[in-house]
Structure 1
Amino acid sequence: MTTQQADAEQRKLQAFVSEYYGRLLASSADLKTNACCAGGAPPAWITSRLAKVHPDVASRFYGCGFPIPQGLRGATVVDLGCGTGRDVFVIAQLVGPDGLVHGIDMTEEQLSLARDTAGWHSERFGYPKPNTAFHLGYVEDLRSVGIADASVDVVVSNCVVNLSPRKDLVLAEVFRVLKPGGELYISDVFADRRLPPEVASDPMLYAECLGGALYQGDFVSLARRAGFIDPRVVSASPISIQHDEISTRVGAARFSSVTYRLFKLDGLDEQCEDYGQSVVYRGGIEGAESVFWLDDHHAFERGRPERVCANTAAMLSSTRLAPWFDVLGARATHFGLFPCGPTMAAAQYQRSSPAAGGGACC
């Protein structure tokens, strides 16, 4: 296939997805599978904010969880593929009146509802003016909607990257707009294998968040090439396809909703290295007052020292999370590979539910 043919196929897929979500679906109930729908109960610190979202916005939302990280007060956030703006309006409450949330989407019909309710939401939140901005555009080209280099603290994405035919460009753009120490927090659908062309190019499967699902190993490789050296899994949950025709089309492939966090940090190691460092959580993060989960095997209990690798130390000391952590020891003397495994708190408080803000499709 020539470059021109590939570009034409990509545009055709994007047009179908835009039509599917903009005109063909009246609500999330119209989806044929649960891959693109939020499932499971959100944590309490999100539930209280969801209650303030306009019901019309909530009913037309499509996503695979609640990929909203903690510690966002005063932050500038970008939501990729924001749709009607449910997550944008939740995050708007978390960043506060001095923060700013950009919503990017390629579907005018959904953005129209988000824009129409922006004033309603700011009044509901008690803000003097909206702290949200909605942009019609593509997640592969954030520059075209005015998102400047190194201008964003956090980028979130809720079951959207799998809908992009150029996931490499999405990750490169996210890396470009993030400030040093910034974070991509993404919940999406992933496959347990590389999907055959007849599945990956099927417009219906693509729009249902299955055809574009990446093999997790390929996602990690793409992320590292973009500059995100150490992607961390926050939570994972299997997806059940309760639709006979679609189940037959995808064959033996299995899908999961996985939430990742990826930091833009210089100097991260490709594997866990030991510099004799420890971390103490000071406590105080909303929703994690006693125990904070960085990822699925790094939990930190308030006041309890935990040995960590150099990458984890950097994630907790050189990002917006730094005010809540004390890192003991400098990255000076190398002691070899770090025996990476669950922290003591993670082993003690093993959870059966997704992490705070993590996503689960079923």
Structure 2
Amino acid sequence: MAEELVTDSVKDYYGKVLSKTDDLKTNACVSIEGSAKIAKHIRKAIAQVHDEVVIKYYGCGLCIPTTLEDMSILDLGSGSGRDCYILSKLVGKNGHVVGIDMTDEQLEVANKYIDYHREKFGFAKSNVEFVKGYIEKLGEAGLKDNTFDIIVSNCVINLSPDKHAVIAEAYRVLKEGGELYFSDVYADRELSDDIRKHKVLWGECIAGALYWKDFVDISKKVGFSRPRLVEAGIIEVTKPELKEVLGDAKFVSVTYRMFKLPKTEKPASQVIYEGNIEDSEKEFKLDYNHIFCAGDVVSVDSDISTILQCSRLADEFTFQPSAVKGGASCSPKEEDIVDPFEYLAKGGPSKGACCAPSDNSKGGCC
């Protein structure tokens, strides 16, 4: 399907065909994260979002990282504004949130409740704004280089006909040390033309899914750090007419995080999580394989060392040379997995964090 046709089809699907989450025909655009996994302060923020904004929400994961106070955040494909309003609460009155979307109907809902949420959160002036534009062309929407601390995106990049442009634009507008934290849909293979041309499968976040290897290649070419896999879940397509089109192709929804890091890496080091992140006092999860227990000395490679020292997470850790002796020291229990299909085939999350397993044998922080 030509790029213009894809864009028009997606606009129509999210602006006119869908009116609520129940209208979706697959679980690709439904959150993979259960409420039990959501931190208390985030659950409180979600509860304050207006019902109409929530009803119009479509996404394959809750894209809300930690350590957000006073941050400047961009939401790619912000839709009705649900994630933006959650972030608005979490960044506080001195933070700033921008949502960009191309769909008039979604933007109308989002803009309708700016004052509602400002009053709900007790802010003297709103810290959130919504702009109309395309996530492949952030410059045309007035978004400048090195502007944002964090970019989030919730099951939207797959809807773009030019993923390379989206990821490159995200890299451009991030500050050095900034993070792209996002959920999206990936395929286990290159998809056929029959799938790529299917309008419903485009709207359902399936037909536009990248082959996961292509995503990794694009990210590397653009300049991002190696993608860190946070969570993944299988996408089930049950409607016979859609399954027939898809054939043997398999799909997953994945939350990745990537950072815009300086060209010179930090050396491998030992790090100690201080335990000061709200609702993560006992442990901090960087990705599925790096879960830092408060007070533990953990050996990390140069990639993780650079992420922790050069991002907003630096204040949450103490750093020391990797050669330092004494005290308990540990490291991740397995090699990092980027392939979400391999990750799920091996049973999903790592069974232990950095310290010794607890009595229930499931691992975790002591």
TM-score range with shorter-chain normalisation? 0.7 to 0.9
Residue 170 of structure 1 aligns with which residue?
A: 166
The 2-side partners of 1:187 and 1:268 are apart by 28
Task: Check whether the contact 1:229–1:268 (CA below 8 A) recurs between aligned residues.
Answer: no
Residue 306 of structure 2 aligns with which residue?
A: 314
Task: Check whether the contact 2:100–2:133 (CA below 8 A) recurs between aligned residues.
Answer: yes
Residue 14 of structure 1 aligns with which residue?
A: 7
The 1-side partners of 2:85 and 2:268 are apart by 42
Residue 95 of structure 1 aligns with which residue?
A: 91
Instruction: After TM superposition, list the pairs within 5 Å mapping 1:24-43 onto structure 2.
Output: 24-42=17-35, 43=38
TM-score (ref. length: structure 1): 0.88
1:23 partnered with 2:51: no
1:238 partnered with 2:201: no
From 317, 323, 329, the equivalent of 2:321 is 329
The 2-side partners of 1:80 and 1:29 are apart by 23
The 2-side partners of 1:255 and 1:172 are apart by 24
The 2-side partners of 1:198 and 1:48 are apart by 43
- Secondary structure of residue in 1 paired with 2:189: coil
- Distance 1:222-1:290 versus aligned 2 partners, 3 A rule: same
Residue 43 of structure 2 aligns with which residue?
A: 47
Task: Check whether the contact 2:32–2:233 (CA below 8 A) recurs between aligned residues.
Answer: no
Instruction: After TM superposition, list the pairs within 5 Å mapping 1:216-295 onto structure 2.
Output: 216-267=212-263, 275-295=267-287
Calculate the aligned-residue CA RMSD, in Å: 2.2
From 102, 107, 112, the equivalent of 1:106 is 102
Residue 288 of structure 2 aligns with which residue?
A: 296
- Secondary structure of residue in 1 paired with 2:214: helix
Q: What is the CA-CA distance between 1:346 and the residue it aligns to?
A: 7.3
Cα deviation digits, residues 242-293 of structure 1 (max 9, x gap) = 2221111111111111000000002367xxx9x4511100011122111001
**Percent of pairs identical after alignment?**
41
Cα deviation digits, residues 39-62 of structure 1 (max 9, x gap) = 442303321111000000000111
- Secondary structure of residue in 2 paired with 1:237: strand
- Distance 1:345-1:249 versus aligned 2 partners, 3 A rule: same
Q: Which amino acid aligns with 1:184?
A: L
The 1-side partners of 2:47 and 2:213 are apart by 37
Q: Which has the higher contact order (CA 8 A, sep 6+)?
A: 1
Instruction: After TM superposition, list the pairs within 5 Å mapping 1:200-215 onto structure 2.
Output: 200-215=196-211
Q: What is the CA-CA distance between 1:311 and the residue it aligns to?
A: 0.8
Q: Once structures 1 and 2 are overlaid, which stretch shifts more, 224-233 or 55-64?
A: 224-233
Q: What is the CA-CA distance between 1:12 and the residue it aligns to?
A: 0.8
TM-score (ref. length: structure 2): 0.87
The 2-side partners of 1:177 and 1:330 are apart by 33
The 1-side partners of 2:167 and 2:361 are apart by 30
Structure 1 segments unaligned to the other structure (5+ residues): 1-5, 332-337, 353-362
Q: What is the CA-CA distance between 1:111 and the residue it aligns to?
A: 0.3
The 2-side partners of 1:70 and 1:351 are apart by 27
Q: Once structures 1 and 2 are overlaid, which stretch shifts more, 52-61 or 26-35?
A: 26-35
Structure 2 segments unaligned to the other structure (5+ residues): 324-331, 337-349
